[in-house]
Structure 1
Amino acid sequence: MEKTILLVDDEIEIIDIQKRYLIQAGYQVLVAHDGLEGLEIFQKKSVDLIITDIMMPKMDGYDFISEVQYLSPDQPFLFITAKISDQDKIYGLSLGADDFITKPFSPRELVLRVHNIFRRIHRSGETELIELGDLRINHANHEVHIGQESLDLTVKSFELLWILASNPERVFSKTELYEKVWQEEYVDDTNTLNVHIHALRQELVKHASSNTPVIKTVWGLGYKIEKAR
Structure 2
Amino acid sequence: MGTTTTPNDTFRAVRVGMRLSQDDMARELRRVGESSGEPNDANKRLVQRWESGTSTYPRPVYARALEALTGLPVESLGFRLPVPLLGVADDGRGGHDLDVETGAAPIPVATSPAPVHNHGGVWISRYEYFSSSRGDTFTAAHYVLLIQHGNRLTGRSLPGTSTNPDSPITLDLTVDRNVVTGTWTEQTAADGYYNGARYHGAIQLLIEPTNRRMAGKWVGFGKEFDVNTGPWTLSFVDASTTKATLERYTEPPTV
TM-score (structure 1 length as normaliser): 0.27
Q: From the CA coordinates, give the structure whose radius of gyration is larger.
A: 1
Q: What TM-score do the two structures reach when normalised by structure 2?
A: 0.25
Q: By percentage of residues, which structure has more strand?
A: 2
Question: Which has the larger helix fraction?
Answer: 1
Give the number of the structure with larger relative contact order, counting CA–CA contacts within 8 Å between residues 6 or more apart.
Answer: 2
